[in-house]
Amino acid sequence: MIKYLSFFKIRFTAGLQYRAAAWAGIATQFAWGGMTILMFRAFYQNGENAFPMTFPELSSYIWIQQAFLAMFMAWFFDNDIFNNITSGNIAYELCRPCDLYTMWFTKNMAIRLSRTMLRCLPILLVAAFLPYPYGVTLPPDFLSGVLFLFSIIIGFLVLVAFSMLIYISAFYTLSPIGIRLLATSVIEFFTGAVIPLPFFPESLQPIIYALPFASMQNTPFLIYVGYITGGGAVKNILLQLIWLMVLITAGQFLMKRALKKVIVQGG
């Protein structure tokens, strides 16, 4: 366990060094979050049908999404891992006296969390002082806040576990670019990063909510704004735990299978 904590500390500390990039990201996220809220505001003011979320709930959802973007951004992958696999440097990784899956999992957690630490608080502070209903508000009650914290941790782990499958796929392909682009598009769409899942057609929602993607950022954010409460929140958290166990088990199995057949050419 100590060696994995060391990997986490090294990668987390390295991620905290990119402060200029973090400030640039914060400015971009403020602009993107503001434009998204104003776009939805136009729909709410001119829409004839009832919307699944109130506008204050939607505003909080978008700002929480922007605050934790670095934690859940689907397009981020550790290029060092892909380069190690495609270049043959994976041989050096295999010489380490540790489990390769756990080491990569830990590194991915660290880099995402370090970037979140730099961006989260400034966005939440500014969004909290925006005029109602354009800003972020607190959860509707204490229980929702506690469930949100528990759910966002599990959702984060689900995303990392799914990302591990993308890394492992590089063992079987000549280039990881194709699978990365496909995975990014699918994750972005089905996690509610583009359009919150409550806005999807009701006939499709049971299927979408059953997929692992809904267990990433969608569940904790909807719990935070009060869209999912009580027993519904507990049910969704249990689904998150199931997907976490399934994805980790599948990842470890595929990793062991890939390492049994890995061939490193060169001398």
- DSSP per position, 96-148: SSS-HHHHHHHHHHHHHHHHHHHHHHHHHHHHHTSPTTSS----SSHHHHHHH
Q: What is the 3-state secondary structure (H, E, C) of 66-98?
A: HHCHHHHCCCCCCHHHHHHHHHCCHHHHHCCCC
Mean pLDDT of 189-218: 91
Considering the chain, what is the average pLDDT of its residues?
Answer: 88
pLDDT higher at 87 or 131? 131
Has residue 267 got a pLDDT over 50? no
40 vs 89: CA distance, rounded Å: 47
Q: Looking at residues 193-222, what average pLDDT do you find?
A: 92
pLDDT at 94 over 60: yes
Higher per-residue pLDDT: 41 or 10? 41
Farthest CA pair distance, the chain:
68
Report, as an integer, the average pLDDT of 228-239. 92
**Residues 38-52: tens digit of each pLDDT:** 999 988 888 767 788
> Exposed, middle or buried by CB within 10 Å (0-12, 13-18, 19+), for 265?
exposed
| Residue 266 scores a pLDDT above 60 | no
Residue 263 has pLDDT above 80, yes or no: no
> d(Cα 249, Cα 101) in Å, to the nearest integer?
11
Return d(Cα 55, Cα 61) in angstroms, integer.
10
77-93 pLDDT tens trace: 888 888 888 777 787 87
